[in-house]
Structure 1
Amino acid sequence: MSDLHLPGDPPIPLILRRSAQARRISLRISQLDGRVTLTMPKRLAEREAMDFARSKEEWIRKHLEARGEDVQVGIGAKLPVGGQEYLVQTGTGRRVQITPDGIFVPGPAESVGKRLGAHLKEIARDRLAGASDDYAARLGRSYTRLSLRDTRSRWGSCTSDGGLMYSWRLIMAPPAVLDYVAAHEVAHLAEMNHSAAFWAGVTRIYGDYAQARNWLRTHGSTLHRYKF
């Protein structure tokens, strides 16, 4: 694996990955961190991969622009909570406060991101536990445990023994989206699949989920731009 750059303004870092299984050159842009990876057959010349990248430059730049830049969370940063954007500001006292005027974080500037991240995880646990309790009651099933992680490939999961897991970053999404994910995972307590019966269960306990699911598909990756 090697690092190259596609010239331009700005230059685009490329990760070149050789694979014995690859039969052709493929291109992938990570929506989580914006990394551009070229995977190519093991014995193919590097210049051919670069020629391929240059031929896709317009497409690459378009997708990187749509993703937006990463945001290092600190004083002066703008951060979504519950789908609403807030300005992170210096706070007083002992606790983080989220008000209509902004997010106020006390303490040294260098610890703002870490402290705010911990606060958001607390709120996320409370909201997701409440939503899971409500939907489980509607479904007539119970779950065994609830955990939060910073998952990169999924927003939630349900294990065969009734354990629910969620991405804490859902607290940054609109409330209806967080609720949809909770309903989705709770519905798996009855149907461990994505059959028609499963989706009927989601509809029964949540309602019309199309808009919330589309929001996740369109905007969900942006929640990973925020670095705490």
Structure 2
Amino acid sequence: MPRLPEKTTESTAFLDLDGARPVAVVLRRSAQTRRISLRVSGLDGRVTLSIPKSLPKATALGFLSEKKEWLRKALEGVPQQIPVIIGSTILFQGTPLQIACDGEARRIRLEGQTLFVPADPDGTITPARVAAFLKDQARRALVSAAHSYAARLGKQVAAISLRDTRSRWGSCTADGRLMFSWRLIMAPPPVLDYVAAHEAAHLCHMDHSRAYWACVSGLMPDYQRHRAWLRQNGAHLHGYRF
């Protein structure tokens, strides 16, 4: 976990939702927080209660107890977390692949719709191996797409980095550095291409003005369809646990 600023502290409380397994709630106390607020991440179900620095803990827990019904409904709407284990499936370029174990292999290999992963000594697999495979494939696809769209605009990309971002699929800095979520490799290729075009267009327009969207449309006339796919399915891509 990244180190928090000195004025922010975190602790954990557990809330019993009337017979269900207790829910872990992160209590985030900060001098910058002006009012108490409860948030549930739509990606992984993380529950955070932000509270002002001077608010008594008992008051915060009382507020939390009053929000039981709201919290239960919010958690029901969170996509189920998907473990990356032998026999499970994972999306790759929009296609479900079954994960299988190969006790003799040293590297991951893709055969048809099966992803063979080297076995650990205990006969299981390490999810990080699968993540590494996806990151490598994502880098190849995104580097190619981003440079291609930038060239069409007469621009150059200064650098490309991949991260496991939670709030955005890509970004562009004023000096031409592009960042992408490596989880895009799980989406259909046209969706990955849309995000590459989206960020490349920022090399011309560092905003979301009409001129910017006209630029995106020039690169990909049907971009709205791929943008809609991400809105509808993006949370599922974040549901895989590596």
TM-score range, shorter chain: 0.7 to 0.9
Contact kept? 2:92, 2:185, Cα under 8 Å: yes
Residue 104 of structure 2 corresponds to residue 96 of structure 1: no
Matched AA of 2:64: A
Give the Cα separation in 2 of the matches to 1:136 and 1:67: 36
Give the Cα separation in 1 of the matches to 2:83 and 2:118: 17
Partner of 1:132: 146
TM-score scaled to structure 2, two decimals?
A: 0.82
Contact kept? 1:31, 1:222, Cα under 8 Å: no
Contact kept? 2:44, 2:78, Cα under 8 Å: no
Residue 72 of structure 2 corresponds to residue 37 of structure 1: no
Cα shift at 1:32: 4.2
Distance 1:56 1:177, change over 3 A: farther
Q: Which runs of 5+ in 1 are unaligned?
A: none
Distance 1:116 1:57, change over 3 A: same
Contact kept? 2:172, 2:202, Cα under 8 Å: yes
Q: Which runs of 5+ in 2 are unaligned?
A: 1-9
Q: Deviations over 1:114-146 (max 9, x none)?
A: 222111111111111222233223323222332
Residue 19 of structure 2 corresponds to residue 5 of structure 1: no
Contact kept? 1:135, 1:206, Cα under 8 Å: no
Contact kept? 2:36, 2:52, Cα under 8 Å: yes
Identity %: 50
Cα shift at 1:111: 4.8
Q: Provide the alpha-carbon RMSD of the alignment.
A: 2.3
Matched AA of 1:130: S
Q: 2:62 aligns with which of 44, 51, 61?
A: 51
Distance 1:176 1:25, change over 3 A: same
The count of residues paired between Structure 1 and Structure 2 equals 228
Contact kept? 2:43, 2:79, Cα under 8 Å: no
Cα shift at 1:42: 3.0
Matched AA of 1:131: A
Give the Cα separation in 1 of the matches to 2:204 and 2:72: 44
Give the Cα separation in 2 of the matches to 1:179 and 1:58: 41
Partner of 1:26: 37
Q: 2:81 aligns with which of 57, 65, 70?
A: 70
Give the Cα separation in 2 of the matches to 1:146 and 1:40: 37
TM-score scaled to structure 1, two decimals?
A: 0.87
Give the Cα separation in 2 of the matches to 1:86 and 1:14: 34
Partner of 1:107: 119
Residue 162 of structure 2 corresponds to residue 151 of structure 1: no
Contact kept? 1:75, 1:112, Cα under 8 Å: no
